[in-house]
Amino acid sequence: MRAVDRLTKWLRGSPLVGISAAVAVVVAVCGLAVWLLLFRGGDSPTRSDVLAASASPTATATPTLTPLPSATPTPTASPLLEAAGAPAEEGDSHAPSGPAAASGMRMVIPKIGVNAPVTVRTMGSDGVMGAPNGRFDVVWYDFSAAFPGMGGYPGSSGNAVFSGHVDYHPHYTAVFWDLRLLAPGDIIEVYLSDGTVARYSVQWNQQIDPASDFSSYCGATGGASITIVTCQGTFNPSTGQYSHRLVVRGVLTP
C-alpha cells in the first residue's frame, strides 16, 4: 500500500499530468465551440460554413482545362463511290446533298457507245464523292474549294475526275457498263458548255481495291489528264458493294 501511495503522489506532481490536463481542456473547449457553431440557430454559420472553414488552406479548386485546337487532318477523297457501289434504284441520287447540278457538258466514248450528260458536284472537306443522278449520268468533281491542286476542269492543265454507275436497278446495265473494255489509245471526248471539245487518249485501265486511297488518283499528273472511276468485280448482295473499283486514265490530245 505504501508503494501505491508513493506512486500516486508522484503522478500528482508530474509535469506530464499537467500537460495532459491542459490538452484535455483545450480539446473540450474546441469541441464546445464547434458544437455551438454547428447547432445553434439564428444567424449563426451553417454546418457547411464550418466545414468550409476547416478545409486545408492549401487546397485549390481544380482548373477547367481548355483544350488547344488540334490540327485537322486533310481528308482524302473516298474510293468507296456511291456512284457505282451497287445497283441503284431509279430516281435515287444516292447522295445526301441531293441531285448533282447540271454542267452543260457531255461525255462521249465512241468505242463503248457512251453519250451522256455530265453533272457536277463540288467536293466538300469530308472527301465524299457523291453519286450521279441516274443510270446514264456522269459526274465531274470540282475539287477547287476544299482540295486545291487536286482535280481539274476538263481541257485544262489539271486532272479532270469523273464517275458513273456500272449498273442501275432494275435496268442493270448503266453508262459505264463497258468501261472495262477501254484500252490504250481509245478516245474519250468531253464536250464543254462553250462548244469546245476536250479529247483524251486512254493511257491505262486499272482495277483497284475499294480500300485504296483514291486521292492519289485525283492529284495532278504533270499534264492535262482525265480520270474515270466506276465499280468492277463481284457484287456482294449482303453489303451492296462491288469487290473492286475500275479506274481509267487518259491524257489530253492536241
What is the rounded average pLDDT of the residues 137-150?
94
User: What pLDDT shows up at residue 53?
Assistant: 38
Query: How do the domains of the chain map onto residue ranges?
Result: 2-53, 101-252
Q: Kindly state the DSSP code that residue 150 receives in the 8-state scheme.
A: B
Residue with cell 471539245: 197
User: What pLDDT shows up at residue 28?
Assistant: 42
Strands (E), 98-252: 101-109, 114-122, 138-142, 159-164, 167-168, 172-173, 187-191, 197-208, 225-236, 241-252
User: What pLDDT shows up at residue 209?
Assistant: 92
What is the rounded average pLDDT of the residues 19-34?
40
pLDDT, one tens digit per residue, over 64-117 is 221 222 222 233 334 333 333 344 444 343 444 578 999 999 999 999 999 999
Task: Residue 199: count other Cβ atoms within 10 Å of its Cβ.
Answer: 17
User: What pLDDT shows up at residue 192?
Assistant: 98
Residues whose CB is less than 8 angstroms from the CB of residue 199 and which lie 6 or more positions away in sequence, other chains included? 187, 188, 189, 190, 252, 253
pLDDT, one tens digit per residue, over 195-249 is 999 999 999 999 999 888 888 999 999 999 999 999 999 988 888 888 999 999 9
pLDDT, one tens digit per residue, over 34-65 is 333 333 443 434 434 433 333 334 443 333 22
SS3 of 37, please?
helix
Q: Which CATH superfamily is domain 101-252 in?
A: Sortase (2.40.260.10)
Q: And the C-alpha cell for 105? A: 457538258
User: What pLDDT shows up at residue 204?
Assistant: 98
Task: Residue 7: count other Cβ atoms within 10 Å of its Cβ.
Answer: 10
User: What pLDDT shows up at residue 48?
Assistant: 40
Return the CA Rg of the chain: 40
